[in-house]
Structure 1
Amino acid sequence: MAQTAEEKNKTLVREAFDTLFNQRDYLAAEKFWSPDYIQHSAHIPPGRDGLINMIKGLPGEFRHEPQLIMAEGDTVMVRGRFSGHGLLSPWIVADFVRVEDGLLKEHWDIVEDEVSREASVSGLPMYGDTFPEER
Structure 2
Amino acid sequence: MSTPEQNKELVLTAFDTLFGKRDYAAAEEFWSEDYLQHSRHIPPGREGLFNLVRALPAALRYDNQLAVAEGDYVMFYGRFSGTGETASVVADVVRVENGRLAEHWDVWEDEATRAESASGLPMFADHFPHGRAR
**TM-score, length-normalised on structure 2?**
0.94
What is the aligned counterpart of 1:53 among 37, 51, 54?
51
CA distance in 1, matches of 2:44, 2:74: 20
**Structure 2, gaps ≥5 residues long:** none
SS of match in other structure, 1:126? coil
Q: Deviations over 1:88-127 (max 9, x none)?
A: x100000000000000000000001101111111010111
SS of match in other structure, 2:22? coil
Letter of the 1:38 counterpart: L
Q: Deviations over 1:6-34 (max 9, x none)?
A: 01100000000000001111111110000
Letter of the 1:130 counterpart: H
State the superposition RMSD in angstroms: 1.0
Moved over 2 A (4+): none
Q: Does 1:42 align with 2:75?
A: no
Question: Could you tell me which residue of structure 1 aligns to residue 107 of structure 2?
Answer: 110
**Structure 1, gaps ≥5 residues long:** none
Letter of the 2:97 counterpart: E
Identity %: 59
What is the aligned counterpart of 2:90 among 90, 93, 97?
93
Aligned length: 130
CA distance in 2, matches of 1:107, 1:70: 15
